[in-house]
Structure 1
Amino acid sequence: MIRLFKHQIPHVVVVLAYADLLILLFAGELAWHIASGQLTISLGHFLERICVLGFFAVAVEAAIFMTGGYRTESLRSVTYASARIIAGLGLSVVFLAIVNLLLPGEILAFTVLALALLLALPLLVLSRLVLGPLFKTTEFRRKIVVLGSGQKAQALYELSLERQSSFTTTAFVKMGDGPSHVDGAMLRGSIAELGGYVARRGAQEVVLAMREHSGPLPITDILTIKGRGLAVCTLTSFLERETGRVDLAEYEAGSELLTNGFSIDRMVRGACKRTFDVAVSATTLLFAWPLIVVFAVINKSQNEGQLFNRQEHLGLNGKPFDRLARRDSFTAQFWHVLKGDMSIVGPRPIASEHGEIGDDIQLHRDERHSVKPGLTGWAQIHMSDAARDASNSAPSRAELEYDLYYIKHRSVFLDCLILLRTMLPKRSSRHSTRYPSKGAL
């Protein structure tokens, strides 16, 4: 930790800020070189524009800081960080445009500025992905205090002990008269002022993990804690944020019904998603068709039987469609995207023969089929191929929890993040074993 202006700044924040500064300088310089070849801009020596580039980099980094790009939440979640980066870049555009009007010629030209920001965005997001493991170190884990000491609190404690956990529990407070499952839990009656106790424990967040039907929420305690500027959240929301999955046990109990999410696609978003699907699939098929023909001829000459196999799968709203399957190519699936049976991003398509299964997965069939199936999705980037069932089998419980998370929080930005993660080398699932399934909580 580094002390700055009476605040403790983790070393990883300093490393990230320094990396961002270098990225912004690089993006500004690269934009200058590109623009100089297209416009009548003198390239000159690097030292002649170092002050201009430095002002640009500092201004953008300050804007990202003001939009929360260096908060703990941002450093734990690439999704959260990317949203804050985009907001910061937008804020910096306004600021730099005003400065450019007041001091024309003193900072980057608008064309160079716009190009620099476009170059900086993917590089800044990529830096979060590369430096992500550093943010999971014990020193940088988010400190929480848990209100509750029952089975839910115990499961949360065990979750915090996992090596890849992004949080650590600093204290447990026993709120009721029931049995305690956590050693060392403090009795609520022994704490004079809960807000002060939480602050002394150095926590940034309080999680409500009390037993079901244990009485009304401790409203006074919650207001006292929030009055000290600390975040308070329910266990359901906390686990969903930490794992990227919707806990089916809590969902089936009705805990998810009043939370944000699970809204239908709006007209603008639906139009944007469809336009993107058509553009990508049409472009892919346009450039890939010669290779498809060549491989088809080779395949036909070396293998007997049909080149394409048809199998009925379930699409939007459970409507069946015949899906083409080719043994050696992924491009055949883009035809279904172009037709509108599938999307680029969405849950994995399920064969109709598994659409009427009789276990708890069947209970959530309607939610899962409320969106089009996709070529890639939230479950695919989080679960290894071995963790998922075969491509034509029914989804496992864990896969369904990831799918429900995507359906609940789906957005254009989340689709872009999934595509970015799909193109990166696949890592082992961070949530494959450390998140308890139904009954564990």
Structure 2
Amino acid sequence: MAFSRRETAILLIGDFLLLFLSLLAALLLRNLEIPELRYWLINILPFIPIFVISLVVFYTAGLYEKQTRPIRRVMSMRIFGAQLANIVIAALIFFALPLTIAPKTILVLYLVISVVAVSLWRFYRMNRERTTTARASALLIGAGRAVAELLEEVTENDLYRIRFTSYLDTARAGDHEVADAVYKAVAGGVRTIVLDTRDPRVTRDLPRLYPLMTKGTTFIDFVSFYEDIFNRVPLDHVGIERLLESLPRRRSLYDLVKRGTDLALALAGFLLAIPLIVLAALVLSLTDGSAFIRHERIGRGGGHFRVYKLRTMLFDDHGDPELQKKNRVTLFGRLLRKTRIDELPQLWNVLKGELSFIGPRPELPKIAEVYEREIPFYHLRHLIAPGLSGWAQIHDYNVPRGAADIEKTRRKLSFDLYYLKRRSFGLDLAITLKTLRALLSLSGT
């Protein structure tokens, strides 16, 4: 949403300015006088990478997420953790590399001042959002589970700049009641209308609403609004024609750069990971069973490929529900999962082009057949190469495992389709940073 992007931009600019001002304050405190321009430049230039890294760490820690900003306890913990990480990174850079700033006590002053300054700035913005943000009145028009979900989220959460003061359930609406409700709301001072334009009752009344569009009334499509709030697609409110139109066509530059990045990172990662893979395989070879497991997965276009992983369970159950009941994760396997070492062999699949670093997670063929029968649009997730990490994984950790789970997979698909609609370099970078956060927190299962 526009207001969310604006607030994020304000926070980002404020963070950068405060980091810069913290350095200036540190230099002044260190010298107790205004230094010459040459002194400023000598000390400021080495800090530019620190500023950039700090902002990346803030993003990775979730300090720009709309779900984090209004919660004081969560914000405090994440600021502390992010600044702690920045302290370690800055110390490694300045004390390990032969940089010319002198003395390096400037770094200590900078870190202390920046921690205090950024924390005070964030709490100021948090309090300002709570106390001074006027929530505009809005009318919500639609029907179904996703509409009810949106109504509850916006009504109960004061971080959004609008509030639904009225709601029309189109499942119970009569002829032309949609237009009547809109005109009544506008007469009462409402200037924002969120409506499901796919609903036939709404579609019939749209011609009557056109005059309002030229008189300052803002109309927002429900699907777009829902996607901005929840970062996923409302499956029950998108038709196949509309969904296919919204999916991006093949983009040569994006696809070429992404594939080149996959190749470069996979090659470097695989070479570095070989000793770790060999060591883990040797440990696994001391127990019953093979060190590696190979599973069939669904790839781009619905084709099959074999994915390689280090074994983390007692035996390879090949996805058999009956065998899964007898299987369990071993102690060493739990360590491999927590550190994601078990997935390192999949870098070979990335090199072969069967996997990408970012994309929908690949599914077992037998389970995919069930999902394609039961879940609309499921086959669309196969339009692009599957990935080691994806939009669904960083947003929804309660993903289905083992046997088929229709409801959980419907939710996962809503994230996958969101990624398909909006995939870009920026979105891939966001997924990468949040995946790194999960890796560093050892949140693998």
Identify the TM-score tier after normalising by the shorter chain.
Answer: 0.5 to 0.7
Deviation at 1:158, TM superposition (A): 2.6
Deviation at 1:206, TM superposition (A): 2.8
Structure-to-structure mapping, 1:134-153, within 5 angstroms = 134-135=69-70, 143-148=136-141
The question of whether the paired residues in 1 share the 8 Å contact of 2:182 and 2:193 is answered with no
The question of whether the paired residues in 1 share the 8 Å contact of 2:60 and 2:433 is answered with no
The question of whether the paired residues in 2 share the 8 Å contact of 1:381 and 1:422 is answered with yes
Aligned to 2:321: none
Tell me the secondary structure at the aligned position of residue 139 of structure 2.
Answer: strand
| Pair 169,355 (structure 1): closer, same or farther in 2 beyond 3 Å | same
The question of whether the paired residues in 1 share the 8 Å contact of 2:227 and 2:233 is answered with yes
Tell me the secondary structure at the aligned position of residue 348 of structure 1.
Answer: coil
The question of whether the paired residues in 2 share the 8 Å contact of 1:277 and 1:337 is answered with yes
* Whole-angstrom CA distance in 1 between matches of 2:260 and 2:421: 22
* Whole-angstrom CA distance in 1 between matches of 2:160 and 2:148: 17
Give the gaps of 5 or more residues in structure 2: 1-5, 72-128, 313-335, 337-341, 440-445
Determine if the alignment matches structure 1 residue 388 to structure 2 residue 399.
yes
Aligned to 2:326: none
Note the alpha carbon deviations across 1:361-386, whole angstroms, 9 max, x for none: 564343111111111100001112xx
Determine if the alignment matches structure 1 residue 322 to structure 2 residue 333.
no
Tell me the secondary structure at the aligned position of residue 309 of structure 1.
Answer: strand
| Pair 286,169 (structure 1): closer, same or farther in 2 beyond 3 Å | same
Aligned to 2:204: 216
| Pair 423,393 (structure 1): closer, same or farther in 2 beyond 3 Å | farther
Aligned residues with identical type, % of pairs: 24
Aligned to 1:7: none
Return the letter of the residue paired with 1:21: L
The question of whether the paired residues in 2 share the 8 Å contact of 1:12 and 1:134 is answered with no
Structure 1 window deviating more from structure 2 (10-19 vs 150-159): it is 10-19
The question of whether the paired residues in 2 share the 8 Å contact of 1:148 and 1:211 is answered with no
Tell me the secondary structure at the aligned position of residue 338 of structure 1.
Answer: helix
Out of 226, 242, 251, the position equivalent to 2:238 is 251
| TM-score using structure 2 length | 0.61
* Whole-angstrom CA distance in 2 between matches of 1:110 and 1:155: 49
Deviation at 1:262, TM superposition (A): 1.0
Out of 408, 417, 421, the position equivalent to 2:421 is 408
Structure-to-structure mapping, 1:6-405, within 5 angstroms = 18-25=14-21, 47-48=34-35, 118-119=52-53, 121-122=55-56, 125=59, 129=63, 132=66, 133-135=68-70, 143-148=136-141, 156-163=150-157, 166=160, 168-172=162-166, 179=173, 188=181, 191=184, 194=186, 197-199=189-191, 205-209=192-196, 212-214=199-201, 216-218=204-206, 221=209, 224-225=212-213, 227-228=215-216, 231-252=218-239, 254-258=241-245, 261-301=246-286, 303-326=287-310, 327=312, 328=336, 329-357=342-370, 360-361=373-374, 363-384=376-397, 387-390=398-401, 396-405=409-418
Return the letter of the residue paired with 1:348: R
Structure 1 window deviating more from structure 2 (108-117 vs 344-353): it is 108-117
The question of whether the paired residues in 2 share the 8 Å contact of 1:378 and 1:418 is answered with yes
Note the alpha carbon deviations across 1:87-130, whole angstroms, 9 max, x for none: xxxxxxxxxxxxxxxxxxxx999977975774465256458626
Aligned to 2:437: 424
* Whole-angstrom CA distance in 1 between matches of 2:182 and 2:300: 54
Tell me the secondary structure at the aligned position of residue 355 of structure 1.
Answer: helix
Deviation at 1:17, TM superposition (A): 6.2
Return the letter of the residue paired with 2:382: H
Return the letter of the residue paired with 2:309: A
Note the alpha carbon deviations across 1:292-324, whole angstroms, 9 max, x for none: 2122212212x1221111111111111111111
| Pair 296,407 (structure 1): closer, same or farther in 2 beyond 3 Å | same
| Pair 391,324 (structure 1): closer, same or farther in 2 beyond 3 Å | farther
Note the alpha carbon deviations across 1:331-362, whole angstroms, 9 max, x for none: 11111111111000111111122232266556
The question of whether the paired residues in 2 share the 8 Å contact of 1:149 and 1:172 is answered with no
What is the RMSD computed on CA atoms of the aligned residues?
4.6
Return the letter of the residue paired with 1:134: R
* Whole-angstrom CA distance in 2 between matches of 1:111 and 1:19: 18
Return the letter of the residue paired with 2:418: Y
The question of whether the paired residues in 2 share the 8 Å contact of 1:208 and 1:232 is answered with yes
* Whole-angstrom CA distance in 2 between matches of 1:28 and 1:330: 45
The question of whether the paired residues in 2 share the 8 Å contact of 1:262 and 1:408 is answered with yes
Structure with a larger share of its residues in helix: 2
Give the gaps of 5 or more residues in structure 1: 1-9, 33-42, 54-106, 200-204, 427-441
Structure 1 window deviating more from structure 2 (114-123 vs 286-295): it is 114-123
